[in-house]
Copies of this chain bind each other. A is one copy, B any other.
Amino acid sequence: MKRIAESTVRRLSLYLSFLEEKDQEGVTTISSDDLAKLGGTTSAQVRKDLSFFGSFGKRGLGYSVKELAASLRQILGLSKEWRVCIIGAGKVGLALAQYKGFRERGFSVTAVYDTSPDKIGKPWDSQKIRDMADLKRDNADAPFDIAVLTVPADAAQQVADLVTGSGIKAILNFAPAQLIVPNEVIVREVNMAMELEGLSFALTNSQE
């Protein structure tokens, strides 16, 4: 398959959320222009994004909300449940562990890990925080698809090594550190400092 731009994938994800919203509202048909307005883009962009994957609309009519949503779920790989573990049982990690949005979207948080004896064994939801040392064995029993890293910056690389060493192939990294991982491992960074500094820059330079 042709390489798809990350920006395209992000927009598909956005379109899907709008479609789900519209479906809830009972809307059955939607045009590329409607989707574009919701997502702050253009109808040509919407059609181009979809065109990489096939043709989903009816000319003169638009798209079936339900059908397009189903197609996008398929494209984004959301038809299966993804098994997610969270590494780092700090405030952010535990907040994420209980975040309902995960499960709704098919991401099922099945374990939380930490290295601190203070935290290991403590309860979260209906389970207990597990020892980081068990990750490799646990993953061999029932593999995780995605590891979410919510550890301090100085521990991030070491934890990432354990994660990739266990065979996990995707990381969502909340630690403010640039991870070095094998080629086949996919990493997405969520870097708060970067977002805030982007706002800082924009505010500083907005009064021209």
User: Interface of A with B (CB < 8 Å)?
Assistant: 1, 4, 6, 9-10, 12-14, 16-18, 38-40, 75-78, 82, 84, 90-92, 94-96, 98-99, 101-102, 105-107, 145-146, 169-170, 172, 176, 178, 184, 186, 188, 190-206, 208
B196 touches A107 (CB 8 A): yes
Q: A17-B176, A40-B178, A77-B200 are in contact. List 8 more A-B contacts (CB 8 A).
A: A1-B208, A39-B178, A77-B201, A91-B94, A101-B193, A146-B196, A170-B203, A186-B202
Q: Is the CB of B78 within 8 A of A197?
A: yes
What is the copy number of this chain in the assembly? 2
Min distance, Cβ A41 to any Cβ of chain B, angstroms: 11
Q: How far is the CA of A199 from the CA of B77 in the complex (A)?
A: 9
Contacts A178-B39, A203-B145, A206-B186 given; indicate if A198 touches B6 (C-beta within 8 A): yes
Which chain B positions have C-beta within 8 A of A201?
4, 9, 12, 75-77
Contact B98 A194 (CB under 8 A): no
User: What residue in chain B is nearest A82 (Cβ atoms)?
Assistant: B200
Query: Which residue of the partner chain B has the closest CB to A177?
Result: B17
Assembly CA distance A3 to B14 (angstroms): 26
CB-based contact A192/B99 at 8 Å = yes
> Which residues of the partner chain B approach A193 to less than 8 Å between Cβ atoms?
13, 17, 101, 105
Q: CA A188 – CA B188 in complex, angstroms?
A: 17
Q: A72's closest neighbor in chain B, by CB?
A: B197
In the complex, chain B residues whose CB is within 8 Å of the CB of A18: 178
Contact A105 B9 (CB under 8 A): no
* 14 cross-chain CB contacts under 8 A: A9-B202, A10-B198, A13-B194, A14-B194, A39-B178, A76-B201, A77-B201, A91-B95, A96-B192, A101-B193, A105-B196, A146-B203, A172-B196, A188-B195
Give complex CA distance A6, B102 in Å.
Answer: 28
| Distance between Cα atoms of A16 and B200 in the complex (Å) | 14
Question: Which chain B residues border A195 with CB–CB below 8 Å?
Answer: 172, 188, 190
Most buried by B among A9, A169, A201, A203: A201
